[in-house]
Chain A
Amino acid sequence: MEPVFYELTKLAQNDQYTTYEMFFGPNHPGMHGNFGYVVEAVGATVVKVRVNAGLLHRGFEKLMETKGWFQNLSLIPRICVVDPDPNEVAYCMAAERLCGMEIPEKAKYLRSLTLEMSRLTSLLMGMGALGAMMGLYSSMYRMMTDRDYVLDLFEWLTGARIYHIYNVPGGVRRDIPDGFLAKLTEVLDTLEYNLKEWDNLVFENPVVHKRLTGIGYITAEEAVHYGLVGPNLRATGFLADVRKDDPYAAYPYLDFETPVTHGGDALARAVQVRKEYEMSIKLVRQIIKKMPKSKEIRLKAGNTLKFVVPPGDTYARVESSKGEYGYYVVSDGGLKPYRVSVRGPSLPAGLTLCHKHLPGMDISDVAIWMASYAVCPPDIDR
């Protein structure tokens, strides 16, 4: 037990200090989502924390057992609003694996393209939110502008800004519209140009450094033990990336090196996210360059309401902006999945790591801790 809160708890037990319960969310400006921590505090120091989850529970996994394989596609992106495409791709990959489908090459590139575009939107929101938690609202609002440029392109490509429902078992729904890649290149130029601004505003800001240094420190061994994934794990210096470890879509054809950052604290995680954002821009450029000319974007699935998947079970995973997003899918050979279980990347930090890190922490750092670990409540409550 950490000495700081141990002492406070002891004093509280002896009635020398009074602890009080405080609801940090769901109605709290520092909480991004319908989620909360009930913190027991002495003064401004957290002594104990209790997760207050369940407010966002929509029963997705159970609902998926009641709908057809294709019908579920309209549900799945809603699990994660910020980064919806990894859900679509993981679910489709699981269904395709059970069906023994090999999707067309162009569909693979288009999937990687939407995944990376989705990553860009999510990382922009993540970086902006981290700034906002420290009072740097200019980063939040200005990054939202950049995010909107990408969402405009999503609307053009898929017909929707947030819930794209673009990936389907067997490929993707639409081919690229004329002029799309040229416009995308323009947007990438803008995003790349604005990186300098984000560096000045956030990543090289001395006040940001002071606020983030040492917050939520974790070693690589602990991160693995707790099940952290994605940028949170790579910010401890541990290299693990589903795109490299278990390649899918067009990633085997792309040339990239996943960056890592040493440090393990909130600053390292922020720097890691910035590196991944830059890498994602480069990946999209590569995808544009290597995009096949073929018109074949999906396999014929017949009547989608009568689409069946052979019996079996499989686990498909993709690298989302927050780490490994996994779908364990079981089919009994019927028109509907027998069981779908989702593994959200925020779960380890949001549910378990908070018990280790938050006690002893000043109340002013709780929101920063959450944002630095990119705790996304919909990942936890499904």
Chain B
Amino acid sequence: MMEVLNVIGYSFFVMAAGLLYMGIGRKVAARLHRRYGPPVWQCYVDVVKCFSRKSISHNFIMDLGSMMGLSGLLGAAMFIPIAGFLPFPSQGPIIVILYLMPIGYLGMAMGVSASGNPLAAIGIGRALTLMIGYEVPFATIVLSFIATYSSTGLVPLQAVQAGGIANWHMMTMPFGFAAALIALMGMLGKKPFDTMIAPSEIASGPMVELSGKFLGLAFLQHAAAIFVETGLIVLLFLGGASNVFEFIGKQAAVYIVMASLSELWARYRVEQATKFLWISAGSLALVQLVINMIIGRK
């Protein structure tokens, strides 16, 4: 019973934290644009508003896809430990997280494709293509951890970074960290990798046919995705956290950096983005893997 309550509570926390980062990101972007920008709680207002509006569903698959999208990301979030806390006992296996995350995106793909809008189909096609772009470098980084620690658990990987900044993988695995940040830009859909949304090209792509609760669910899915993706960086490279506030602070810092960098770049076309991710992030990740393999196991 307690575990069920943990899962429900943790899910709400994940979505709330993700929406907070989104709000902060919007504010930061606005300030870089020389705009005042919306208040940081605007994303909460948006979600409530979306759920209070009439929704248009095209078919059952659209309903199912939207739910699957959120469930996949929330499922992945269940394995992200915050200061050692997890809703149910596990080691925070990265492989499971990497498996569950695409389920979220595939759910979204299924839902919006069922809407029949060609712009949504183009957008989701781009999102899945881009996924190939950032998953390969990120998987290579995970291999680097396996090569060194023979483990893919986030809990033990956080533990080995204890003792100060010098022990953080950001310092000990700089190439992997750089590759992870580039891949993270792609995961978060930040420019130059926001080709799946691209308002001026495909009118926001996957979101074009979403109304009411479907748009609300997409918002929440994105919030959960932000939590999982920034959480992975914090746990793998920034030493994790000893308490929830430290964790949120580090996640917010990572997201602000990503949101700020995003404002410096134009948008790549999807094939350019995938190529760039493979060449830049892929090479850096490969260099890190080779280094870790040479150094050997710890």
Contacts and interface: CB of A to CB of B under 8 A. Distances in A.
Is this pair of chains taken from one and the same complex?
yes
Interface of A: 20, 22, 28-30, 41, 43-44, 131-138, 140-142, 145, 201, 205, 207-208, 210-211, 362-367
Contact of A367 (B32, B35, B191, B200): B200
A43 B34 CA distance: 38
B280 to A, nearest CB: 12
B131 interface: no
B199 A29 contact: yes
B151 to A, nearest CB: 37
A135 B122 contact: no
Given A30-B203, A132-B200, A145-B34, A22 B119 contact: yes
Contacts of A367: 200-201
A132 B204 CA distance: 14
A137 B33 CA distance: 7
Nearest to A20: B118
A194 B103 CA distance: 46
Nearest to A142: B34
B206 to A, nearest CB: 14
Interface centre among B194, B200, B267 (most CB of A within 10 A): B200
A343 to B, nearest CB: 29
Interface stretch (B38-46, B135-143, B232-240, B258-266): B258-266
Contact of B200 (A133, A141, A205): A133
A364 B198 contact: yes
B268 interface: yes
Interface string B175-204: 000000000000000011011001111111
B268 A29 contact: no
Contacts, number: 80
Given A145-B34, A210-B268, A211-B266, A135 B198 contact: yes
B34 A135 contact: no
A184 B50 CA distance: 47
B200 A210 contact: no
Contacts of A131: 266
17 contacts: A30-B199, A30-B200, A133-B200, A134-B200, A134-B267, A135-B194, A135-B200, A136-B191, A140-B33, A142-B33, A207-B267, A208-B266, A210-B272, A211-B269, A211-B272, A363-B122, A364-B201
Given A29-B204, A364-B195, A364-B198, A205 B118 contact: no
A20 B119 CA distance: 11
Interface string B136-172: 0000000000000000000000000000000000000
Nearest to A135: B267
B277 to A, nearest CB: 13
A138 B266 CA distance: 9
Contacts of A135: 191-192, 194, 198, 200, 265-267
Nearest to A148: B34
Given A22-B118, A364-B195, A137 B263 contact: yes
Interface centre among B195, B201, B204, B270 (most CB of A within 10 A): B201
Contacts of B202: 363-364
Contacts of B265: 135-136, 205, 207
